[in-house]
Structure formats: C-alpha cells, structure tokens
Amino acid sequence: MGLTLYPADTAPEVYDVVWCKWPRREDKLAPGSWVRCVLVVDVRRMVDDRTDQEYAVITAQYGTGKENLEFHELANNLVIERHEFRSLGLHKPTVFQMDLRNRKRLPWCVEYFVPKEYILSENIIAGRLTADQRKRFHGCFDARGLKFPLP
C-alpha cells in the first residue's frame, strides 16, 4: 500500500471528530498540507490481500469554520455553534458539510490522520458528538435524502 497504517483497533468511531490532512480536490487523494477537523460517518475494517494485514478505512465529512460559509450554505449541514465547539476539541464554531463532494474515504494511517500541529500533545480524535448533535446529524442526512448508516 505504501502507507503507514495505524492498527485497525485504534480507529475512531462514527460520530468522532478527528484531525485529518484533508486532500484538496485538485490533488486527487494526496494528503493535504493543512490539518482540518473532519467528522467520521463510517468506519470499515479491511484486509490487504497481499499481506493479510487488517486496516481501517474512515469515511469522513469535511469541517470548516462557520465564518467561511454564507448563511444559505448552512442549511442541511451540521453546524457546531459557539456554545458547543470546545467540548468537541475544536477552536471555533464549525460546519461539517454533509454533501457528497465533501465526503472522502481514507485509510486510517499516519499520512492522513495526525494531531493538530499546535496541540501535538492532544489526540488525533478530538471529540465525539453529543446525543443532540447526533440527532441534528441524522436530520442533515434525512434532509439530503442520504442513507445512514452508509451502504
């Protein structure tokens, strides 16, 4: 594979917020240069046929600062407001963009998932959605006509 895989049993769970070198669209799937927060929406365990090594694949939704989006862009996205972002390990209000073009399936590996540069003492997994946030998350899927859990 050419990647430094984390053990599959260390993978985050659905509803976790993790730090990721999110690939830029123009760079295909190459790890990005900036570490971003992403929301885990699916975790699958796979086996490399060549080595029989088990690994995890994470499906994640991109997160961006709320100030980066226009008001109309907030609809049908999971908005983490000012009063709740710190409990998720985030440094500002954030929007997880639920559309399919802001979703990626990436291997759970060193090349993609790393702690934020300024908090290296912290974990890759920043936090986990609360029950209320999960309810809003499911509402975003429903509003977009998407199925959860992912097929």
Would you kindly state where each structural domain of the chain is located, as residue ranges?
8-143
Nearest to 50 by CA among 8, 1, 13: 1
147 to each of 54, 98, 142, 143, how far by Cα in Å? 27, 12, 7, 10
What is the structure's pLDDT at 118? 62
Residue 146 pairs in a beta bridge with none
Task: Say which CATH class 8-143 falls into.
Answer: mainly beta
The model's pTM is 0.90
Q: Could you tell me which of 13, 48, 21 has the C-alpha nearest to residue 110? A: 21
Q: For every one of its 151 residues, what pLDDT tens digit does the chain have, with 9 covering 90 and above? A: 588 999 999 999 999 999 999 998 777 789 998 899 999 999 999 998 988 989 999 999 999 988 888 887 788 889 898 889 988 888 899 999 998 889 999 999 999 999 877 655 568 999 999 999 999 999 988 888 888 887 6
How do beta strands 103-107 and 125-128 pair?
A: unpaired
